Structure 1
Amino acid sequence: MEKKQILVTDDERGVRDSFHMVLKDTYNVLTADCARECLRIVKCSHPQLVVLDVRLPDMDGLEVLKEIRQINGSLPVIMITGVGTHKTAIEALKLGAVDFI
């Protein structure tokens, strides 16, 4: 059986590596360090889940979430951040994120 794909997008290598280490036995883990790469992978590789940082170097994570929704409206996206606010969490959920960590 083919492993499902999870895309982890975070500008911090340690975060990407940690997700990869924990998930690699069960999932095919794709990683991106910026919004541009995230959107390219979403379009080309069709992951089954995206884990997306709120703060990216080239675009706000909420804007990336909006673009992902335009590409694939049913793709589950979990937003992550180390510096989030309640306002950001509410906005992410309104935009279609399935969770905010």
Structure 2
Amino acid sequence: MKITDQARDLLDQLLEDEQAECLRIFFAGYGCGEPDIGLMLGAPEADDELHQVNSIPVAIDKKIVHLTKNLTIEGKQTMEGPKFQMLGLPEKDC
């Protein structure tokens, strides 16, 4: 898993502003028969693996940790606020 430098800077500021412990990557249900991944700021849960990625504390739900191996999180600042994109997820057949 990778977090780009731009995403790191945005996440670092968000974690501070929201007083959150980490970026949490979690199982968000199924789409097209494949697991969906969600991102949120918060605290790790009991079933999470803890990682440090490009200086960002990350908690990953153990059920989907295998899906994050090739994951890259990119971020950019927009007029509406920070936007994040997850690249490298498995293709879905929909």
Give TM-score scaled by structure 1 length: 0.25
Which structure features the higher share of strand residues? 2
Q: Higher relative contact order by CA 8 Å / sep ≥ 6: 1 or 2?
A: 2
Find the structure with the greater CA-based Rg. Answer: 2
TM-score (norm 2): 0.26
